[in-house]
Amino acid sequence: MEKSVILDPIHGYIEFNEFEQRLFDTPQMQRLRRIKQLGFSSLVYPGANHTRFEHSMGAMHLASLFLKVQEPENNKMDEIIVAALLHDIGHGPFSHATEKLIETYTNRKHDNVSDLISKNEIGDVLKDYGFTPSKIAKHIAGDTPLSQILSSEIDVDKMDYLARDMHYTGVSSGSVDYMRLLNHMSFYEDRLVLSASAIKAAESLLVSRYWMNSSVYYHHVSRISETMCSRACSHLLEDKVVRPADFARMDDMGLTVTMRNADGFPGEIAERLDNRNLFKRALYDGLDIVGTNVFEHRKNIPRIEREIAENAGVDPEYVMVDIPQKPEMAEMKALVMDRTMKKLTDVSPFVHVLAVAQESVWRMGVFSPKEHLEVVSKAAYDFFDVSRKPKTKQFRFSDIDPGLL
């Protein structure tokens, strides 16, 4: 098939053919143009307005580069290129801000896209070109050995979004040497492994992941905004303002308009997000302060919010608790073929340092409007049984021991 090209700021010219063009033009793919890759991170980094659509094209491009490097003996690798392009069509509005709600109300994870690619325009295009929609769906869900190219410890999805997110946020945090990684990845006993020649490139990717976690993905403004959005969306679903199936298929603007037009709490949150009038941090501490037992509270967050609100004497809607999952970087578990198969952590002492450092990035938060901050803060620290942090002492050079200079 004749090739065309499109200019991408990350990878340069990306080639695509008539078949891929037809997939681009389906409503399901076009919706991704209206879903930000980083949700509310643009409230911190104004340039972070890139979308799931361009990321999907980038993942497709990297998968095609891997195909060229590997010189496969069968055409099943072509299915992975298609899967890479379609892998994000199951995401809801504002990406991760609504992901858990969609799972709860539809019993479907974002990578379960069987219906999305078999009963609409995408399915028609796939069948026209000899592809089986169910096979593509299995690759996207991670149910095949080949799907590791798209979804594993180090894959084309991560390579693209790390490079893309760094570019659009302006966070200079290393680099993603995807060409070296792609050239030194191969299958061994149905496992995707790196060769020893790719260890440094893998380390560089992990550095990028660490800095993006600390600077962008776990930035407190992003966490607060996503928590506020999620709470407002819970109201929309519980009050049957929107059906779960329709909610999952919304784009960012559709959800924003729905929230703006809703009465009560969702409308208030929409106005706050529109004007960056966000909740503040009543409690915001790491594992060194709150302890690892805090993870036991993740399944009881609504009850905790009500209890803190009651003790603070405020409306429960104005207390939001955010306990992210235990910090980890899946990339550390990548396999390396160095005479024998080993984990990346076993062949790179540097990765051990990052494993410790990445725990320091994790924070749990209790958020509340500014006017309730003091009473909510006291109630939150009392509930989690931690001491309120002392005020930061101003540093002076005269405080330094001369013997250390």
Separation between Cα atoms, residue 298 and residue 276, nearest integer Å: 27
Q: Are 246 and 258 in contact (CB under 8 A)?
A: no
Contacts (Cβ under 8 Å, ≥6 apart) of 34:
51, 251, 252, 253, 254
Q: Are 372 and 312 in contact (CB under 8 A)?
A: yes
Picking from 301, 310, 364, the residue whose alpha carbon sits closest to that of residue 104 is: 301
Q: Taken in order 143, 84, 244, 41, is the CA torsion positive or negative?
A: positive
| 336 bridge partner residues | 194, 342
Largest Cα–Cα distance of the chain, in whole Å?
Answer: 77
- Give ∠ CA 113-32-260 in degrees, rounded to 5: 110
Q: Which of 110, 139, 184, 372 is catalytic?
A: 110
| 365 bridge partner residues | 284, 322
Active-site residue 235, yes or no? no
Picking from 32, 52, 49, the residue whose alpha carbon sits closest to that of residue 40 is: 49
**Burial per residue of 263-301, b for 16 or more beta-carbon CB atoms within 10 angstroms, e otherwise:** eebbbbbbebbeeeebbbbbbbbebebbeeebeebeeee
Q: Are 196 and 159 in contact (CB under 8 A)?
A: no
Catalytic positions: 110
